[in-house]
Chains A and B, each alone.
Chain A
Amino acid sequence: MFEQQDPNLIQLNSAGQLKHFLTTEGLSREMLTEILDTADSFVDMSAQQVKKVPLLRGKTVVNLFFEASTRTASTFELAAKRLSADVLNLNIKTSSTSKGETLKDTLMTMEAMHSDMFVVRHSDSGAAHYIASNVTPHVAVINAGDGRHAHPTQAMLDMLTIRQHKGAFEPLTVAIVGDILHSRVARSQIHALRTLGAKEIRVIAPTTLLPRHIEALGVTVYTDMLQGLKDVDVVMMLRLQKERMQSALLPSESEFYNLYGLTEEKLKLTHPDSIVMHPGPINRGVEIETSVADGPKSMILKQVTNGIAVRMAVMSMAMGGQMTEHQAERGSE
């Protein structure tokens, strides 16, 4: 009766270019590779003396953070500034509605300031989609994390890190460990890894932290970490929010650590050349042992660096996609 909606109807322009970046789901392998290639070109730039390019000169980027974030917000800000954009940071931690204003009101206010791009973090799944569906045409929306739904730039910086260290995705077995249920990062990682052709994606967690029918996303489920880590090439740990431990999801921090914490001992089960990743901030001694977090296999800081490059890539690509569409529309007038 109603067809399932293609997630890309909203994030690609008529020429198939990115105009918003809301989810990794449904994007083609070529598009994901283009993002990674573009990001790669920005990685080296960070090491240069002049760290700026004029790709977003004259454009206004508004960071709309309805949820607290340090790492993501600062890397987005830095990325926008390195692209020469004017940046406005708005931390609306307790949500716009605390003063009675709806999200739509906030959006319209920001639009009235002639913004060109919104970077959005929100506690509700689908918030970025909602904003992208309601902004004035030619304003790009980048999803910086919405509820449990998606965190596509985090997933892409993870992909970039994996590619830098492993090359091709096809031979890789990747394990995602921890709070899959609440993780927007895991969902975006799974979609990206599948599209990029990873051999096997495993999720490892107790059943209380696994969403129903997660297998439908194309992953293998392990509730035993010792089995799940066997011979994997990449271990992606997820952040466990400590407050969830009181909500009948887990018995205690120590039991979680014993069963699902990544220790040196457990790491020995993985492939000898394996790498360890974590989107941060990390809980040492809860989800990861300090020696592992700071050890030679850890890519955690590398991920942060790559985060700037990936965010520069998607911001410049989305702005390019918007401009192409704008020009095409003007041409057809």
Chain B
Amino acid sequence: MNIAIRNGRVIDPANNLDQITDLFIGDGRIASLGEPPAGFIADREIDATNLVVSPGLIDLCANLREPGYSRKGTIASETAAAAAGGITTLCMPPLTKPIADNTAVIDLIEDLAKQAGNARVLPMGALTQELKGEQLSPMHGLRKAGCIGFTNAREPIHSALTLARCLEYAATHDLLVIFQPQDADLAAGGTMHDDTTCTRLGLSGIPESAETIEVARSLLLIEQTGVKAHFGQLSCERSVKMVMEARDRGLPVTADIAIQNLLLTDENVSGFDPNFHLIPPLRSQLDRAGLRHALVADGFQAICSDHQPHELAAKQAPFAATEPGMTGLETLLSLSLMLVQQELISLPQMLAKLTTGPASVLNVDLGTLSPGSSADICIFDPEQEWVLTRENCRSAGANTPFMDFPLKGVVRFTLLEGNVVFQQ
């Protein structure tokens, strides 16, 4: 199908493009910008006047819960939420049941994603078998089955030797390793950032060192092994600084931050609202300021949702007894737009963190509107206001502190490989 998107503000950070123009799609790919290709006849026209046309968003961390936790969400429900949020590609951690450490699980995820047809799902494989931190997973086979990278999520690998072996093996096959750094012993079952609010509420805290020590250990082993590495969802200023310094030394390291850590702090937990129970936790004002500074300084490559949908009962308990995480696919764009509204970064800079940035981390030819690339497109109105409610929430999880909160930025169309997968 040929589609013409007319009159939109086309922003493609990969090509430094920001202009009002037309965009033409044919055979699932970007055909041209400005002028239609010779002989182009549009089967469908989309009027994008006063709308932004950007590459489809890429989310580096979204838990889709299937297989194993379909009471919290399914690949169909969560990719539908992604499409509604303008996200066309998402990376899924191996926290499924069974753990994604074998090709059967990866095949299942890919089949289910294909059936749903809402978004491109790139599974991350387990770095160690069953995420136990003991035995290497069959990374090469998993890569062939479609894994974009390998992670042990927040499950500990106590032995530095085992971790070194994992990284060596990944480096041998030029595989990406993704760290979600947290020292389990120092975190000690904590539920929020270890600081004044935590002391006041009597919750058990997760100190900054639980993250920074793991970042430091990982960086030393990355240096030793030369593996390509990415740090996901950093929450502390010092962690980002360490990664930036390592990159300056020439290490192949990248990082992302969950949008909530750029907007909120531990003080938001003050009323025991379990929707603020997040891992990594919301950190101090200084950390948030440091992360925002790193954003401006281009210290990390991507902003992600760290989407973690839950069933209602998982959040119906006292704070510490609830399961951590918030749903975030539908709000990723609107929350990121807050950074623009707060005049921290420009709209193209923000979109770079949601498109080209994550694409460069994954080393995939996505997140751009260059002619010939996949026609993954998000068309949105950055000014239109909306409210996420339990009724209009497409994710199976309604667990977010931003529920019923006034937001700006409404997705009008999402196209995946030239097909309209969401329209409002």
What residues of chain A have their CB less than 8 Å away from a CB belonging to chain B?
Answer: 1-2, 4-5, 7, 25, 102-104, 122, 124-127, 129-130, 134, 146-150, 184, 187, 211-214, 216-217
Contacts and interface: CB of A to CB of B under 8 A. Distances in A.
B272 A129 contact: yes
A1 B202 contact: no
B205 interface: yes
Contact of B317 (A7, A104, A149, A212): A104
Contacts of B195: 212-213
A265 B291 CA distance: 52
Given A2-B401, A103-B317, A130-B317, A212 B268 contact: no
A127 B313 CA distance: 15
Interface stretch (B46-54, B297-305, B318-326): B318-326
B144 interface: no
A212 B194 contact: yes
Name the interface size band of chain B: 20 to 34
Nearest to A148: B202
B198 interface: yes
A150 B318 CA distance: 14
Contacts of B272: 125-126, 129-130
A149 B199 contact: no
Contacts of A103: 316-318, 321
B267 interface: yes
A164 B268 CA distance: 39
6 contacts: A5-B270, A102-B313, A126-B272, A129-B272, A149-B202, A212-B194
A7 B195 CA distance: 18
B264 A147 contact: no
Contact of A4 (B194, B263, B267, B319): B267
Nearest 4 Cβ contacts at the A-B interface = A5-B271, A148-B202, A149-B202, A126-B272
A150 B317 contact: no
Contact of B270 (A4, A102, A125): A4
Contact of B318 (A1, A130, A211, A217): A130
Nearest to B317: A103
Nearest to A22: B272
A212 B318 contact: no
A187 B200 contact: yes
A290 B203 CA distance: 33
A59 B91 CA distance: 56
B346 interface: no
Nearest to A124: B318
Which interface residue of B198, B207, B273, B318 has the most chain A CB atoms within 10 A? B318
Interface string B270-286: 11110000000000000
B202 A217 contact: no
A244 to B, nearest CB: 13
A213 B193 CA distance: 12
A129 B321 CA distance: 13
Contact of B198 (A7, A146, A212): A212
B199 A147 contact: no
Nearest to A191: B200
Contacts of A127: 318, 321
Given A4-B267, A102-B316, A126 B198 contact: no
Contacts of A102: 313, 316-317
A216 B196 contact: yes
Contacts of B321: 103, 124, 127
A283 B317 CA distance: 33
Given A4-B271, A212-B196, 15 more contacts: A1-B263, A1-B264, A25-B200, A103-B321, A122-B318, A124-B317, A124-B321, A125-B202, A125-B272, A125-B320, A130-B318, A148-B203, A149-B203, A211-B198, A212-B207
